[in-house]
Structure 1
Amino acid sequence: MSSTNPALKAWLRRTVLFALGVVVTIAIVRMMRSMDWESVGRAMSQLSWWHLLILLLVLLARQVANAAPLAYYIEGVSLYRATLNDLSATMLTAFAPPPSDVALRVSMFSSWGIRTPVAIAGTTMNAMTFFIVRFSAPLFGFILVLATGHELGFRWLDVISLLIAAALIGAVLIMTRSDSAAKALGEGCGRLVCRVKRSVSPAEWGQKCLNFQRELSSRFAYAFPRSLAVSYLMVFFDGLLLLLAMRFVGLSPQTLSVADIAVAFLFAFPLTAFPMSGMGVVDVAISVACIEVAGTDVVQEPVLAALIIWRVFNVAGPLLLGIVASALWKTTTRTKPAGLTEAS
């Protein structure tokens, strides 16, 4: 029975993902077929050059906030270099599978004189911080719903997202509390993973968590709260991009208020865990929420136009900026990157 469990779990996981993909695809196809594309085009034509400039400035602020935790977690890394690192890694993920982005990050940090273990620990905590913020974003949505008197509906399911965020925070606090706690947590996670993947060594996972704790412990109390704060600021800028796109295509506050758009955005934000920042899944969730609160299908076309603009900036924008960042990296060091070969 134990030998069939991994295969059964893998089959169930693939089945759930396939079913979810089918549901999302059907929803997207139905939405696309019902669209008046001339109206979408007219909504997008309302953009002027200064609208694009404002959106670009907000995007830059978003990307700096997104990269800032690296500067907090890794001593000796400036905000400028952290931003170059984050943009370059983001760009690479569009063309090469993980862990190519981690390898690039470490190589860049090493070229700036940062030891590989420190770079890996900082990069890991940067990712962990983002996941905590991603899954805790609906908390602000719940607050807005209560403050504005909206109905929760199926949004109460986002309590699951909050529980995930709480579990991640608990794991981080346990791991950074002491050597024994870090090692025990690593071994425990290793044993769980070992049930699915027999080649995993719980002892090795325990040692890796111990090494991670030792590299991070001196800066954790300083870096963790600041990283959470600046990551929430990144979420704010991402939501601001969406709000501005809505306004620029003609959706007035009388049709969709700031609170309406914020609630739709915050409850959909955990879905950015899907590939390409949840493109498709997140957009359908936001679109449905906006149409529901507006009480009319008339907003469907301008909402779609706003979502297209938003996606151009928050998905395609960082990829283009990443190309520039990779070129600028070469100007920040005269040494050959050695992140993959440097001894720890």
Structure 2
Amino acid sequence: MSTPEGPDVSDARPGRRAWITRIVLLVVAALSTVTVVRLVGRVDWEAARDALTHLSWWHAIVLLVVVLARQILLAMPLRFFIRGVTFYRATINDLGATLMSLIAPPPSDIALRVAMFKSWGVSPAKGLAGTVMNSLTFYIARFSGPLLGFILLLAVGEAPSFRWLELLSIAVAAVILVTVLMVVRSDRLARTVGTRSGRIVRRFRKSVDPDRWADACQSFRADIAERFHSGFPLAVLSQVGMMVVDLAALTLCLRFVGVTADEVSLVWIAIAYLFAFPFTVFPLWGIGIVDALILAALVEAGGLEVEAAAVAGLIVWRVFTVGLPVLLGAVAVAVWRREVAGQSQA
């Protein structure tokens, strides 16, 4: 949820802080990646390049369709929470924000979202409330991933081992869920959540006013309450669907480069993905650290002989799931600008 003070576009400090935070997170991800890869073993890059030769032209078409489905599912909560936003508009909005978050400092992505909402006749307040719920729903799904991972481990009779640490991720998801439910339940609870959250944050940032946070939570409830009860369950389902499609993309990439089901079954790919998914909280969907964690789990399941092909599959997965949405975001912004220009002429 955005802070009650709101972003001040004229102040460059929030942008600088955001970039510093991103750099720090990327450094942490890089160090974590190096650590995990060293634990796995030295990668045979020549064998990884050979694995990439298994790719055919039609693989790209299949992955393009899968990634498009992934992006539509990722944006669906906007449709469920904001009246007047279709599935098409939700996807355009989300792709455009993805592009802006990569090439410009915050709040550029929010500014683009608001501009799109206004061009579609949607109130900025309603649009921002829906955007916040879109993010919160995704975070609930993101940090709940390990719960499904534990269920799969139980099904295959494998001990969780060090994965018990992922209980912290599930706890984060539970806290977010409870907080959201409290905010939308009543004005009194919304103000209570805002006030207490503001007091906690004020310990680290003296400029925070708990009363303004309470007002912001109450306003947020007013903007989202109308569509929350019907939209929230559908939004959660769409994010679970997105994770399933993302897992399908990963599995296809591994199979395309030669990691067979006999070497690493779908269940073990799913376990590797679900326990690594919370780390997509790092920049660029956790590029580096998520891949290293998945690689370690795949090698644990299939042995060192699958390492090189798994690396190749992860590279292809990242090209399509991180790189392609950025390109689609550029197309989305161009299409929207053309629509706005046409409306202006009319």
TM-score between the two structures when normalised by the length of structure 2: 0.89
Alignment correspondent of 1:158: 166
Which of residues 316, 321, 343 in structure 1 aligns to 2:328?
321
Contact 1:66 1:234 in 2 (8 A): yes
Shift of 1:30: 3.7
The structure-2 alpha-carbon separation of the partners of 1:21 and 1:86, relative to structure 1 and needing over 3 Å to count, comes to closer
How far apart are the structure 2 equivalents of 1:21 and 1:219?
37
Equivalent position amino acid for 1:122 in 2: G
Cα displacement (A) at 1:148? 1.1
1:265 is matched with 273
Deviation per residue, 1:129-171 (Å, 9 max, x gap) = 1100000011111111111112211111111111100100000
- Secondary structure of residue in 2 paired with 1:137: helix
Cα separation, 1, equivalents of 2:313 and 2:186: 48
* Cα distance in 2 for residues equivalent to 1:23 and 1:120: 35
- What is the aligned partner in structure 1 of residue 315 from structure 2? 308
Aligned runs of 1:164-203 on 2, under 5 Å? Answer: 164-203=172-211
Q: What displacement does 1:190 show? A: 0.6
Which residue in the other structure is 1:37 paired with? 45
- Contact 1:71 1:79 (8 Å CA) reproduced: yes
CA distance in 2 between counterparts of 1:136 and 1:103 reads 29
Query: Is the contact made by 2:190 and 2:217 (CA closer than 8 Å) also made in structure 1?
Result: yes
The 2-side partners of 1:241 and 1:94 are apart by 22
Is the aligned partner of 1:222 residue 2:235? no
CA distance, structure 2, for counterparts of residue 317 and residue 18 of structure 1: 20
Number of residue pairs matched by the alignment:
322
Take 1:313 and 1:251, find their aligned partners in 2: how far apart are those partners? 18
Unaligned runs of 5+ in 1: 1-12, 337-344
> How do 1:16-55 residues align onto structure 2 when only pairs under 5 Å count?
20-21=28-29, 23-27=31-35, 30=38, 34-55=42-63
DSSP 3-state at the match of 1:94: helix
**Per-residue deviation, 1:27:** 2.2
- The root-mean-square deviation of aligned C-alpha atoms, in Å, is 2.0
Equivalent residue number for residue 145 of structure 1 = 153
Deviation at 1:94, TM superposition (A): 0.9
Contact 1:28 1:280 in 2 (8 A): no
Amino acid at match of 2:86: S
Distance 1:285 1:30 in 2: 12
Q: Which amino acid aligns with 2:309?
A: P
Contact kept in structure 1, 2:195 and 2:211, CA below 8 Å: yes
Relative to structure 1, the CA distance from residue 180 to residue 227 in structure 2 (aligned partners, 3 Å threshold; closer, same or farther) is same
1:81 aligned residue (58, 73, 89): 89
- Between the aligned partners of 2:249 and 2:100, the Cα distance in structure 1 is 23
Q: Give the letter aligned to residue 317 of structure 2.
A: W
How far the C-alpha of 1:53 sits from its partner, in A, is 0.7
Q: Which of residues 92, 105, 108 in structure 1 aligns to 2:113?
A: 105
CA drift at 1:18: 9.7
AA aligned to 2:325 is P
Letter in 2 for 1:304: V
User: d(CA) in 1 for partners of 2:34 and 2:244?
Assistant: 31
SS at match of 1:150: coil
Structure 1 segment 116-155 matched on structure 2, within 5 A: 116-155=124-163
Amino acid at match of 1:287: L
Q: 1:208 aligns with which of 200, 210, 216?
A: 216
Provide the residue aligned with 1:291 in structure 2. Answer: 299
Structure 2 counterpart of 1:96, from 104, 111, 124? 104
Q: Conserved in 1, the CA contact under 8 Å of 2:190 and 2:218?
A: yes
Q: Deviations over 1:189-233 (max 9, x none)?
A: 011000100001101111011000001111000110000000110
CA contact (8 A) 1:139 1:162 kept: yes
Runs of 4+ in structure 1 deviating by more than 4 angstroms, as ranges, are 16-23
Q: CA deviation at 1:33?
A: 8.3
Deviation at 1:100, TM superposition (A): 1.2
Contact 1:174 1:182 in 2 (8 A): yes
TM-score normalised by structure 1 residue count: 0.90
CA 1:78 to 1:242, structure 2 compared with 1: closer, same or farther past 3 Å?
same
Amino acid at match of 1:207: D
For the 8 Å contact 2:276–2:293, the answer to whether it is kept is yes
Corresponding position of 1:340: none
Cα distance, 1:193–1:179 mapped onto 2, change above 3 Å: same
